[in-house]
């Protein structure tokens, strides 16, 4: 009788331990879709909805504001959020921090001079590879296609990438003298993209770095603007070794089969008990960078559902890693 009771207690203890271990598992999966492409609404959303999976989509704020047909509109985006999806900022214009001024201190245009024969049109050399925009006393000037149009349009500019020079006609020529003419910086990209999305009904707290490019300086600036930031790295995230302002993602390429991504998820989420964040773009058509087929996404979603893999948005995954489980913030 005593032996029987001992065996029963031992079995009960093992079952309890196994259940406890399962409850403590940190393995989870997040699908992110960059750029806010229309195909995400048309193809990815219905596929994932079928399997009860919510994702995170990174929105380029200027694209949403300008209503480009290749990208989701406000109504479609709102439908995604009603289905449990998270909206994240993917920048104001999708620029990299190394291609434009880093912060507000680097924004003012230097050595502005009048264009020959004009008192209202100015030109200046520009020290960066790309221009995210030009502002005058905080107001955005309109980008035009050539210098001739600028000369006839107050509050506009044209950037000639070939010679690295910007031509602009300010609303008030006196603003040129006091340093009010500024080139949009990456710091402004992060801040204004959040503001634009909030004005359109999406109070975002997650930032997804354009081109998966990130620096330690930008990470430090982002802490006051966002609760979490997702970048590149092609690696998983693990308790105690994850920076909440530098969450790593693995890029899904067009040539990747569903089985390739399934094997990756098995390795990181199931075998290593980690958090795998996948970086996707368009789905089901050829628009955008590295689109994935709808058939691949369907097969992957079916595998997720069949195997009970925990899926979370970036915001939910961050809460689980840094709040709910009381895990350390790693380098953050």
Position 19 pLDDT exceeds 50: no
User: Beta 122-125 vs 113-114: how paired, if at all?
Assistant: antiparallel
Q: With bands split at pLDDT 50, 70 and 90, how would you rate the model's confidence at 67?
A: confident
- Helix, strand, coil tally for the chain in percent (to 5): 35, 20, 40
Position 145 pLDDT exceeds 70: yes
pTM of the model: 0.88
User: Beta 165-169 vs 122-125: how paired, if at all?
Assistant: antiparallel
- Tell me how far apart the alpha carbons of residues 68 and 259 are, in angstroms, rounded to a whole number: 34
Asked if residues 41 and 294 have their Cβ atoms less than 8 Å apart, the reply is: no
Q: With bands split at pLDDT 50, 70 and 90, how would you rate the model's confidence at 6?
A: very low
The predicted pLDDT at position 101 comes to 96
Q: Which positions ≥6 away from 57 have C-beta within 8 Å? A: 32, 33, 34, 36, 40, 72, 77, 80, 85, 86, 87, 88
Identify which of 184, 232, 230 has the alpha carbon closest to the alpha carbon of residue 205. Answer: 230
In the numeric block, the tokens 């998983």 are attached to: 236
CA distances from 134 to 33, 62, 169 (A): 29, 14, 11
The predicted pLDDT at position 61 comes to 97
- Tell me how far apart the alpha carbons of residues 213 and 331 are, in angstroms, rounded to a whole number: 18
- Tell me how far apart the alpha carbons of residues 304 and 55 are, in angstroms, rounded to a whole number: 13
The predicted pLDDT at position 178 comes to 82
In the numeric block, the tokens 């001079």 are attached to: 113
- Tell me how far apart the alpha carbons of residues 229 and 244 are, in angstroms, rounded to a whole number: 7
pLDDT tens digits for 250-263? 999 999 999 999 99
Mean pLDDT along residues 27-41: 97
The predicted pLDDT at position 9 comes to 44
């Amino acid at each position: 009788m005593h032996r029987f009771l001992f065996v029963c207690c031992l079995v009960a203890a093992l079952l309890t331990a196994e259940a406890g271990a399962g409850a403590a598992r940190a393995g989870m999966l997040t699908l992110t879709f960059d750029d806010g492409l229309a195909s995400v609404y048309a193809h990815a959303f219905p596929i994932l909805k079928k399997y009860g999976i919510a994702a995170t989509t990174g929105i380029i704020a200027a694209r949403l504001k300008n209503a480009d047909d290749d990208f989701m509109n406000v109504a479609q985006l709102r439908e995604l959020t009603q289905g449990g999806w998270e909206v994240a900022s993917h920048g104001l214009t999708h620029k990299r921090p190394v291609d434009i001024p880093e912060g507000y201190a680097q924004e003012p245009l230097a050595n502005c001079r009048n264009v020959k024969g004009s008192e209202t049109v100015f030109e200046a050399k520009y020290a960066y590879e790309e221009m995210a925009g030009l502002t005058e006393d905080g107001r955005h000037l309109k980008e035009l296609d050539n210098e001739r149009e600028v000369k006839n349009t107050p509050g506009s500019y044209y950037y000639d990438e070939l010679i690295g020079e910007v031509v602009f006609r300010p609303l008030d020529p006196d603003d040129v003298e006091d340093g009010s003419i500024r080139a949009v910086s990456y710091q402004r990209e992060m801040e204004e993209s959040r503001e634009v999305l909030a004005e359109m009904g999406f109070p975002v707290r997650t930032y997804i770095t354009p081109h998966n490019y990130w620096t330690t300086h930008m990470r430090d600036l982002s802490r006051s603007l966002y609760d979490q930031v997702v970048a590149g790295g092609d690696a998983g995230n693990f308790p105690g070794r994850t920076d909440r302002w530098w969450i790593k993602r693995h890029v899904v390429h067009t040539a990747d089969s569903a089985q390739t991504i399934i094997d990756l998820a098995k390795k990181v989420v199931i075998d290593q008990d980690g958090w795998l964040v996948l970086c996707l773009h368009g789905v089901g058509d050829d628009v955008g960078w590295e689109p994935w087929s709808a058939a691949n996404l369907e097969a992957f979603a079916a595998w997720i559902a069949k195997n009970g893999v925990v899926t979370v948005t970036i915001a939910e995954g961050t809460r689980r890693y840094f709040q709910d489980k009381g895990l350390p913030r790693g380098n953050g």
